Amino acid sequence: MTEISALKSRLLADIAAADTADSVETLRVGALGKNGVVTALLKTLGGMSPDERLEKGPAIQDLRESVAGAIAVRKAALEQAALDARLAAERIDMSLPADLGPVGSVHPVSQVMDELAEIFADLGFSVATGPEIEDDWHNFTALNIPETHPARAMHDTFYFPDGEADGQKRMLLRTHTSPVQIRTMMTQAPPIRIIAPGRVYRSDSDATHTPMFHQIEGLVIDRGITLGHLKWTLETFLKAFFERDDIILRLRPSYFPFTEPSVEVDVGYTLVNGQRVIGGSGNDKDGGWLEVLGSGMVHRKVIENCGLDPDEWQGFAFGTGVDRLAMLKYGMTDLRAFFDGDLRWLRHYGFSALDVPTLSGGVGA
C-alpha cells in the first residue's frame, strides 16, 4: 500500500461521508484547491525524473480523477436530496377547489338566429334587417293590408302619437318582420333570397304572448318561382333545423293580405313522455300537428308596390316565430322567461360561446 493509495482511500471515504454541500466544498478545496493535497502531489510531477514520473504519474493522475469524480457525484446527490426535501416541504392540498372564472352563455334566441343564418346561407339566403320603428306604409299599406284591416286596430299595434297633420306617415312598432321584404325589394334588384330576423311588437300579453317577440321572415323573388319551391324550402329548412329526416309538413290554404295563394304550414309531432317532439306525421297515433309557419306566394300588388313588374318577378315569402322555434327545439315552455334575464334560466337554456352553429359540426347544440 503506497502513500498515494492510502490518501485516495481516505479522501474517498471523507467525500462519501460528507453530508452537506459545504463540507463537500471544504474537502474539494483541501484536495483539489490551490493548496490542496492532491494539487501538491501534482506539482511534484514537474520535479521528477522521467523514470520516476513514469512510475508515479499514473497513480497521481488517477488520484486526481477519482477524487474529482467522487466530489461531483457526491455534490449532485446532495443537491438532489436537497431539492427533494424542498419539494416535499412545498406539498399543498391539491383537493382544494380551483377557480374556473365566470362562465357565460349565449341566449337561445341568438343561438337559434345563428342556426337559421347558417342553414339559409347554405340555401343562398343572406340576412337582411330593417327598422323596428316603422311607418304604416311599410308595415301595412305596401303589404296590401288596407286601412280598415283588423290588424291595424289599436289593440294589436303599438303606435306613436300622430306627427304633424300634413299627411306624414304614422309611425308604429313593426308588428312583423314583413316590412323588411318591402325594404329589400325596393333597394335590391332581383333575384332576391333573404331572411330577416328581428324583434317585433304586438300589444298582447299572456302565457304564450309577450308584447315583444322575435320573428324571422324569408323572401325569394326570382323568375319562375312556385309554391313547389316554397314547399321544398320549408321542408329542407325544418329538416336541417331539427336535424331530423322524418319531418312531415301539412300545408293548409289560409289567408294573408300580402300573399296569394296563402299557405299555413303545420309540422307533425309525436307525443313522447308527454312532450311534443317534432317529427313523424301528425296523423299517426300519438301524433298531432303544430302550426309553425305562415307563407305564400307574394301578392302581385306587393311586388308592384315595390316598383317591380309582377309579370316578370314572382316568389314566395314565409314567416315564423324565432322564440317558438327555440321552444320547439330545446323544450322551453314559458315564453315570458325569455325576457326576464334570470341567470338560472340563462345558464340552463343558454349556449356556450363556442357552440357556434356550423354545417360540419351541426347547427344544433
C-beta of 25 vs 132, nearer to other proteins: 132
C-beta of 10 vs 347, nearer to other proteins: 347
For the residues of 76-92, what is the DSSP string, one character each? HHHHHHHHHHHHHHT--
Q: How far apart are CA 146 and CA 298, in angstroms?
A: 16
Contact at 8 Å (CB) between 316 and 71?
no
How far apart are CB 148 and other proteins at their closest, in Å?
4
How far apart are CB 222 and other proteins at their closest, in Å?
8
Torsion sign (Cα): 226, 231, 233, 236: negative
Beta bridge partners of 270: 277, 287
> In the structure grid, which three cell numbers stand for residue 16, read together?
462519501
Place of cell 314583413: 178
Q: How far apart are CA 311 and CA 103, in angstroms?
A: 55
> In the structure grid, which three cell numbers stand for residue 18, read together?
460528507
Contact at 8 Å (CB) between 266 and 143?
no
C-beta of 63 vs 142, nearer to other proteins: 142
How far apart are CB 247 and other proteins at their closest, in Å?
12
Query: Is residue 260 marked as binding?
Result: yes
C-beta of 160 vs 186, nearer to other proteins: 160
Cis check: omega of the bond before 191, within 30 degrees of 0: yes
How far apart are CB 29 and other proteins at their closest, in Å?
40
How far apart are CB 275 and other proteins at their closest, in Å?
22
Place of cell 311599410: 138
C-beta of 231 vs 329, nearer to other proteins: 231
The annotated binding site is made up of 260
The annotated binding site for Mg(2+) is made up of 260
